């Protein structure tokens, strides 16, 4: 009688078997909130060749899934078990990028504790860094932590946008202030030639325009600030109007420059 093939499989083979979605037993335990089963697999699986960094059908590892499921304690334990932090999912996102995007501050803390330096330089399929993700979602506390960990404040995505450009376009003054306090450059342009100041004026955002003008290295006068405003107004016919449908009074911009 021919023996059942299952008996011929090694423990590693069984631990690393996947279902039709490419999920291992470890992944299923994470997804189904079976935390104690996850811990058992981490304890026993390491001795029997369990692949912590195996990917499912979407390119996600167990660490990605723990972040998705808001399982901060499991994130800590997976990092402690040497799960790969540089692993990229199908959209080229690291576990840290996902944690930042979701606003999971405790997961971010756990990942930052033992993070390979190269993670600071990784970006998703659109060229966005973890800083871009924090700025896009307005996660100020997480952004501050990333800047303190020396993530590059002037990284550009595939559209040439730096975090400061995004913050200015989003009208998030607190984020703009934080980035400027970490020496983010406001002279950098996106792929269409727009600076943060241009975007603030085009959006009619007086507080951000005033902040950028006050922090600019160039001498600021009412005359050149009004020139910028009139340049933006002149471009409206080409750009299809102000980005968020607002406008600025030229006198208000002049006041901002003098304040």
The pLDDT of residue 230 is: 61
Could you report the per-residue pLDDT of 23-37, keeping only the tens digit for each? Answer: 999 999 999 999 999
pTM of the model: 0.81
Query: Residue 40: pLDDT above 80?
Result: yes
Nearest to 40 by CA among 5, 87, 77, 83: 77
The pLDDT of residue 227 is: 55
Q: How far apart are CA 144 and CA 61, in angstroms?
A: 27
Distance of CA 233 to the CA centre of its chain: 33
Nearest to 46 by CA among 67, 74, 25, 15: 15
* Domains and their CATH numbers in the chain: 156-259 (1.25.40.20)
24 within 8 A of 64, measured Cβ to Cβ = no
Percent of the chain with pLDDT over 70: 80
Q: How far apart are CA 64 and CA 69, in angstroms?
A: 9
Structure tokens at 255: 């006041």
Mean pLDDT of 108-129: 94
Average model confidence (pLDDT) across the chain: 85
Mean pLDDT of 182-208: 94
Axis crossing angle, helix 105-113 with helix 140-148, rounded to the nearest 10 = 10
Q: Which residues of 44-60 are buried (b: 16+ CB within 10 A; e: fewer)?
A: ebeeeebebebbbeeeb
């Amino acid at each position: 009688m021919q023996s059942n093939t299952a008996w011929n499989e090694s423990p590693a083979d069984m631990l690393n078997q996947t279902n039709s979605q490419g999920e291992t037993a470890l992944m299923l335990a994470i997804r189904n909130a079976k935390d104690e089963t996850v811990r058992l697999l981490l304890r026993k699986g390491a001795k029997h060749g369990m692949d912590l960094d195996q990917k499912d059908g979407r390119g996600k590892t167990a660490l990605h899934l723990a972040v998705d499921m808001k399982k901060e304690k499991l994130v800590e334990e997976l990092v402690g078990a040497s799960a790969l932090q540089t692993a990229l999912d199908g959209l080229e996102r690291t576990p840290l990028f996902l944690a930042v995007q979701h606003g999971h501050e405790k997961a971010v803390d756990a990942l930052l504790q033992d993070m390979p330096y190269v993670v600071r330089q990784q970006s998703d399929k659109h060229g966005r860094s973890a800083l871009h993700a924090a700025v896009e979602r307005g996660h100020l506390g997480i952004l501050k932590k990333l800047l303190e960990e020396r993530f590059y404040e002037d990284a550009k995505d595939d559209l040439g946008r730096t975090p400061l450009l995004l913050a200015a376009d989003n009208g998030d003054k607190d984020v703009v202030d934080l980035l400027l306090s970490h020496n983010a450059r406001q002279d950098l342009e996106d792929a269409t030639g727009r600076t943060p100041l241009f975007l603030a004026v085009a959006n009619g955002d007086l507080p951000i325009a005033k902040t950028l003008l006050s922090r600019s290295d160039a001498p600021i006068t009412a005359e050149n600030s009004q020139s910028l405003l009139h340049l933006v107004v002149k471009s409206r016919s080409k750009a299809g109007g102000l980005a968020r449908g607002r406008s600025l009074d030229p006198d208000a911009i002049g006041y901002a420059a003098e304040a």
